[in-house]
Amino acid sequence: MGCIWTLRKTSWAAIFWLAVLSAHAQTPPAAAPPDTQGMPSVVHLSIKGSGRLLPLALLDFSRESADPELKQRAEMVSTFLGDDLRNAGRFEVLRDSLQVDSTGWGPVLERWSTAGVRALVRGAMRQREGRTELFATLYRLPDQRVLIAKGYPVDQGEALEAAHRLSNDIVYALTGQRGIAFTQIAFVSQRRGDKEIYVMGYDGYDPRPVTNDRGINYSPDWSPDGRQVVYSSMRSGRWELFAADLVAGVKTPIRTPSNMNTAPAWSPDGRRILFSMNGESNMDLYTVTVPGWQLQRLTDHPEADTEPAWSPDGRQIAFTSDRTGQPQVYLVNADGSDARRLTWETDAYEGSPAWSPDGKRIAFVRRGFDLFDVYVVEVEGGTPVRMTSGGSSENPCWSPDGLQLAFSSNRTGSYEIYAMSWDGSNLRRLTYGGENILPAWSPLSAGDH
C-alpha cells in the first residue's frame, strides 16, 4: 500500500511526493480451520448475489444468577458479537429479547424459521469451576440442527475475545469460510505528533504503536504469516525499509543502495519484498529477497513507477505510473515483463491499486475535483465502479476474505480509517483523532481462530 500522488499542498502525500520528486531530480498464505469442537459436518448455507445477507437471529444471553457483574459481561459479549456478525459482511443480524418459557425452545425456533431466519444463536452466562463462561448454541434453521454447542471463557477482560471466537466459529459453521474477527489493521497515525506505524483490531479496538521513531514512517504491509510489518521510514534522514517483528519486537533494516525506498509490499510466499526505489535515474520497481537482501530490478522506465501490489498468486503486480503523463494503474508480470495499462480515464489521476484476495478485482483511487474516491475494476477490464463519496477517500485495502474494504478519508475534517462492505454498504469509522492514513489489513494466519 503506497502513498498516493495527492497534489494538495497541505496534505501528507504532497509532502511525501515533493521529497520523491526532489530525489528523482537530483539523481542523473493452507491455514488451519478454526476450532470446530461441537461443529458436526454440515451442508453450509450459501450467500450469493449482491446485497443478499443470511438472516440470523441473536437472542439476548441469559444468566444463571442475578449477579450484576454476570449481567454486565453477558451484555458486553452480546454487543461485541452482534458487531462482529454485522461486520462479517455475511449476515443480517436480528435481535430478540424473548427468553424461553416452559414450552421449551421449539416454539422459538419455529417462530424464527417461519419468519425466514436461517440461523439462531442463544447463550447462557454461567460459573463453572471458579470461572465465568458463555455456553453458546447455534441452530441451523429450518431443520433446527445444532451446529455449535460449546463454552467460551469470559473472565475479566475476555468479553471481546470470547465474542471474536464465537463469531469466527459461527462464520465457519454456517459458510465453511474462516472469520476475520482476529485480523488486524496496520496504519500510519499522527496522534502523538509524528507519523508512526500503529496496529489495531479489525474493528478499531486496541490501537498500539509499532514504531516510536519520532519521525516519518509510511506504507505498512504485512508478511503472509501476519507476524511482521514492513514499512518505509525516514528515521535516519533517508527513506529506508524496515521489517518489524510484532512478536519479538525487533526491527530489521532492509539494506539497498538507494536513499529513496518506498511503498514496500510482501510477496504472497513471504520470500521477497517488492518496493519502489530511486535507482540509476528514476523510481522503478525492485524486489529484495528475505532473507539475504538480494536485489532485482523489475521495471526500467524514464517516468516514475511506484505503489506496487502483488496479485494473490504472486504472478502479477499492479502499480502506479505516470508514464503517459498522468498517474494511472498498470499491470506487469512478476518478472517485469508485459507491462500494460489497466485504467483509462482521460486526464484523471488514478493510483493506489489493491488486489482482491480472489485476484479478480482491483481497488484503486481516482481524483475528481481535487478529491479522491475509491473505485473497483475487474482485472480483465470493464467499467470501474465508484465505492465512496464525501470528502477525499484514499489508499484502499481488502480484508483477507474479500468482503470488505478499508480506506482513509477526511469526510469528517481530519483523516481517519474507515471500513465498508465490498459493495459500499455498512460504512463504519475505525479511528478517532490524530490523522490516520494508509491502512493495511492483515492476512488470516494460523493464530486466527
Q: Where in the chain is the domain with CATH 2.120.10.30?
A: 183-441
Average pLDDT rounded to a whole number, residues 111-134: 92
The confidence score (pLDDT) of residue 10 equals: 33
Domain with CATH 3.40.50.10070 in the chain: 54-175
Phi-psi category of residue 90: left, alpha or beta, with phi > 0 → left and psi -120 to 50 → alpha: alpha
Does position 24 have pLDDT exceeding 60, yes or no? no
Q: Which residue has the higher pLDDT, 394 or 193?
A: 394
CA distance 189 to 171: 31
Q: What is the pLDDT of residue 98?
A: 65
Label residue 39 by pLDDT band (50, 70, 90). Answer: very low
pLDDT at residue 51 is higher than 60: no
Is residue 11 over pLDDT 80? Answer: no
What confidence score (pLDDT) does residue 17 get? 40
What was the pLDDT predicted at 187?
A: 98
What is the pLDDT averaged over residues 243-251? Answer: 96
Residue 152's alpha-carbon distances to 6, 96, 158, in angstroms, are: 47, 21, 9
3, 17 contact by CB (below 8 A): yes
Mean pLDDT of 376-404: 96
Q: How much is the pLDDT for 256? A: 93
What per-residue confidence (pLDDT) applies to 101? Answer: 56
Q: What was the pLDDT predicted at 38?
A: 41
Q: Is 18 exposed, middle or buried (0-12, 13-18, 19+ CB in 10 A)?
A: exposed
> Which CATH number is correct for 54-175, 3.30.1490.120, 3.40.50.10070, 3.10.20.30, 2.30.42.10?
3.40.50.10070
> Which pTM value belongs to this model?
0.88
- The whole-number pLDDT of residue 370 equals 82
> Which letter does DSSP use for residue 195 in this model?
B
Burial (0-12, 13-18, 19+ Cβ within 10 Å), 149: middle
Q: Which fold has domain 183-441?
A: Neuraminidase (2.120.10)
- The Cβ-side half-sphere exposure at 432, using a 13 Å CA radius, reads 6
Per-residue model confidence as pLDDT tens digits over 59-101: 999 888 888 888 999 999 999 999 999 999 999 999 976 665 5
pLDDT of residue 6: 36
State the chain's mean pLDDT as an integer: 87
Q: Residue 1: pLDDT band by 50, 70, 90 thresholds?
A: very low
pLDDT (0 to 100) of residue 26: 34
Q: Which residues pair with 134 in a beta bridge?
A: 125, 152
CA distances from 164 to 153, 205, 273, 323 (A): 12, 12, 31, 46
**346 confidence band (pLDDT: 50, 70, 90):** confident
Residue with cell 488514478: 350
Kindly report the CA angle at 429 between 428 and 433, in degrees rounded to 5? 175
Predicted confidence at residue 446, as pLDDT, reads 63
Tens digits of per-residue pLDDT, 215-236? 899 999 999 999 999 999 999 8
pLDDT of residue 435 exceeding 80 = yes
Mean per-residue pLDDT, 31-57: 54
For residue 12, is pLDDT > 50? no
Confidence of residue 107 (pLDDT cuts 50, 70, 90): confident
319 alpha carbon, distance to own chain's centre: 19
